[in-house]
Structure 1
Amino acid sequence: MDYLLDQLTWRLNGLLLDRHEAEAIAAKAFRDNMWATSLGSDVAAEMGRLLDRVEQVQSEGGGFYDIEATFASLLSLLVPLLPYENISKGPVRSLADEGEGGRFPPLRREIVSVGQAVQSELSRRWTLTDLAGIAHLSARQLGRAFRESYGLPPMSYVAMLRAKEMARLLRDEPDCSVEAVGRMVGWRGRSHAREKFTALLGIGPDEYRRRARGLDLATPGPDTAETAAEGS
């Protein structure tokens, strides 16, 4: 995050008061925003190669500039996929203001309220009707607004928030089973949590936890017994 804020400060040199204003812009622009997009096979392959390279350089104790150059190449592929607007060519005194001229399109207030409600009660069994009621929109209007803001439907957004929180809990609560962590974020049972987490992150929760802890994938963990069929 520090690196990205430095890059934002550098790119908007002359438009910002200081680095703290860059942080304010980032917080307001992205909030807890997510953006779902489909990558072409060539772009996905190149991103994977660059991420592998960053990990390799880090594991070998490589130099800062090698990592920075590789990461910059990754950003060059990522930035065109982000939903932001170009900076206005007119005079801009401060991009952190609420007025026009900002780099990123603002989230609609009703969409922010939905996100805040879901995060405050993540384990609740949310329905599309619940979310539409919070936003005071019809289900159809809410779906359109979410696609404009996040690039995905409302219930997919809820699932992504759950996966994000589950990943945090898997890292921070090593003694909690996958089933327990899954129920904390609103997924029913061990199998359901595994299925959803794996579908969204592309890696199972047990494997994710071991990698996050820097363990070999064959290292037994607290959830090893849960690889058996549910109910056994």
Structure 2
Amino acid sequence: MLDKHVIADTGLFTEYMYLHDASSQKSDLLERESRTLLFLRRLFERHAHAEVKNVVPVPRTVGIVKDMLHANATATVSILDLASEAGVSETQVIRSFSEEIGMPPHAYLVALRVEHAKRLIRFGLPLAAVAADCGFTDQSHMHRHFKRLTGITPGDFAKAMSGR
């Protein structure tokens, strides 16, 4: 049960807005699920009388999850898929992976997709085809993540590669 009906927690509100943006922008399933689980965990940790259990690290979890993300970088992956493969809970996947790798599984998956997009753009493929081949929901989804991670747009990257 939550302590109050109205919660004044700026950090939690910011996380909620990221969750809302991810949902409204049709982000990847893995990102939406991860953000939802993290938000709910923090909500209950901070504002409920419920005891939230600490995650006991399972040594092989990160390696299993990483291998699965690499093998399915262009496919839709759910947090449940990752947890089932690793034999742990969804929350354990997110926390173990984040602690060891430095980013949650969904961010790692996006980085893999951007690297794959860079390779395909170097081959001269059209950007719409690249977005589809890399598992992005559409070209604007690829554009947003590509620019955030590389500092340039896919179009500018393609122009730079064609001038080589």
TM-score, normalising length: structure 2: 0.58
Which of 176, 192, 210 aligns to 2:159? It is 210
Q: Which amino acid aligns with 1:193?
A: M
Shift of residue 197, structure 1, vs aligned partner? 1.4
CA distance in 2, matches of 1:201, 1:129: 29
Q: How far 1:162 sits from its partner (Å)?
A: 0.7
Query: Where in structure 1 do 4 or more consecutive aligned residues deviate above 6 Å?
Result: none
> How many residues are aligned here?
106
- 1:190 maps to a residue whose letter is Q
How far apart, in 2, do the equivalents of 1:182 and 1:132 lie? 27
Counterparts of 1:123 and 1:185, CA distance in 2: 5
Q: Deviations over 1:155-205 (max 9, x none)?
A: 11111111111111111x20x211111111110121222122112222110
* 1:142 shift after superposition: 1.1
Does residue 137 of the first structure (1) align with residue 50 of the second (2)?
no
- Partner residue, 1:113: 64
Residue of structure 2 equivalent to 1:193: 142
Runs of 5+ unmatched residues, structure 1 = 1-107, 216-232
Structure 2 contact 76–135 (Cα < 8 Å) conserved: yes
> Hey, what's the Cα distance between the residues in 2 that align with 1:141 and 1:165?
27
Question: 1:110 offset after TM fit, Å?
Answer: 2.5
Q: Which amino acid aligns with 1:211?
A: A
Q: How far did residue 211 of structure 1 move?
A: 2.0
Q: What does the per-residue CA deviation read over 1:124-153, in whole Å, with 9 as the maximum and x for residues that have no partner?
A: 111222222222121211111112221011
The answer (yes or no) to whether the contact 2:117–2:131 under 8 Å persists in 1 is yes
User: What amino acid is aligned across from residue 183 of structure 1 in structure 2?
Assistant: A
| Cα deviation, residue 121, structure 1 | 2.2
The runs of 5 or more residues in structure 2 that have no matched partner are 1-58
Q: State the alpha-carbon separation in 1 of the partners of residues 148 and 103 from structure 2.
A: 15
Q: Given the alignment of the two structures, is residue 153 of structure 1 paired with residue 104 of structure 2, yes or no? A: yes
- Aligned-pair identity in percent equals 29
Instruction: Give the Cα separation in 1 of the matches to 2:134 and 2:118.
Output: 10
Secondary structure class of the residue paired with 2:63: helix
Aligned to 2:74: 123
Which amino acid counterpart does residue 118 of structure 2 have in structure 1?
A: A
In 1, the alpha carbon distance for the partners of 2:91 and 2:61 equals 14
